[in-house]
Structure 1
Amino acid sequence: MKTIFITGYKSHEIGIFKNDDPAVRIIRKSIRQHLVSLADEGLEWVLVSGSLGVELWAAEEVISLKETLPELKLAILTPFLNQEEKWSEGNQSYYHDIIKKADFVSSISNKPYTDPSQFKNRDDFILQKADGLLVIYDEDKKGSPSFLLEKAEKENMTYNLDIIRINFQDLQWIADEEALSESEPD
């Protein structure tokens, strides 16, 4: 797998409103573990569309991994121009800091938001470009990642993607493992 698209919940969908929330550390750790493993197998590009939440946390992990994995590249492919224009000033600043460090940034639609078809077009484009999909999604908690995941699974014969799912139980195992290692005496 040379190219993977990472997506998942937007931060507000899972009740996270600050990037220093302890849950973000667990999500990022899970993403990091997968990225390191995939890089060992030849991963070159990580694609995200720049949504607040899992996608930008994944982007941060790629950026931090570049120190030890300089061959790993980050592409941010937004669904439309200026997707961040209605975000808070803090979120806009956070987003701009990340896109400055990306290897490639572009918009799939060269227009600002006009209608939901721009998200469908983003999904189609990304599914054609990626070899794999890593998605943080739990069947018990519906949310925005469901549209892309359902499309990828339904049309996987066309796209031939490797799909990696991370659910809430997977994240809980990481949290439990961390709690256990912190409680063990040195």
Structure 2
Amino acid sequence: MKRLWVTGYRTYELGIFNENDLKIKIIKSAIKKNIINEIENGLKWVITGPQLGVEQWTAQICLDIQNEYPDFKVSVMLPFKEFGNNWKDDKKLVLNQILNDVDFSDYVSKDTYQSPQQLKNYQTFMIEHTDGALLLYDSENEGKTKFDLLKIKQTKEAKDYALRMIDFMELEDIANEMEEEKNNHLNY
């Protein structure tokens, strides 16, 4: 796999409303672990979106990973022109910083938001330009990512397309590992 689409929950779907929430550290750890594993198996690009939550965290993680893997690239694709323009200024600032730092970014649709069809076209674009997907998603806690998963499952019926999901059980395991590590450091 050379190109990986990474997506998942939005911040509000995870109940995260503060950048210092411990859940972010756990989620970022899980994403980073999965991406590094893929890089070591030949991954060249991560392609993600601009959404608050998993997608923006993925872009930030990938930018950090480039220090260790300088040939690795990250792209953020926006579904339509002026995406995020209605966000609060602090959120717009973070998105603009990410877009300035990644190796490539562009709009799938050159028009501003017109209809849900643009979001379907975005999904199709992401699948056509990647070899597989990494989703932070738990089927017992549906969110907007459910629609990406359905599209990916349709794709898998027609062609070879890799799918890896990080579920809440995996996040719980990582949280436990982090807690053990913290306790081990306290014992020294």
The TM-score, its normalising length taken from structure 1, stands at 0.97
Q: Is the 8 A contact 2:155 2:161 kept in 1?
A: no
Aligned pairs for 1:85-100 (under 5 A) are 85-100=85-100
Partner of 1:125: 125
Indicate the residue corresponding to 1:137 in structure 2.
137
AA at the equivalent of 1:169: M
Partner of 1:56 in structure 2?
A: 56
Q: Is the 8 A contact 1:152 1:159 kept in 2?
A: no
CA distance in 2: counterparts of 1:158 and 1:80, whole angstroms: 27
Output the CA distance in 1 between the equivalents of 2:108 and 2:160. Answer: 21
Equivalent residue pairs, number: 186
* Unmatched 5+ stretches in structure 2: none
Does 1:103 find its partner at 2:103?
Answer: yes
State the percentage of identical aligned residues. Answer: 28
Correspondence list, 1:23-172, <5 A: 23-172=23-172
- Deviation track 1:24-59 (CA, whole Å, cap 9, x = no partner) reads 011000111011111111100100111110000000
- Ranges of 4+ aligned residues in structure 1 off by more than 2 Å: none
Q: Is the 8 A contact 2:46 2:73 kept in 1?
A: yes
Q: CA RMSD in A?
A: 0.9
Shift of 1:153: 1.0
- Give, in angstroms, the shift of residue 159 of structure 1: 4.0
Which whole-Å CA distance do the structure 2 matches of 1:72 and 1:3 have between them? 10
Distance 2:168 2:159 in 1: 26
Q: What runs of 5+ residues in structure 1 fail to find an aligned partner?
A: none
Helix, strand or coil for the counterpart of 1:138?
coil
Partner SS state of residue 109, structure 2: coil
Q: Following the alignment from structure 1 to structure 2, what is the Cα–Cα distance between the partners of residues 3 and 11?
A: 25
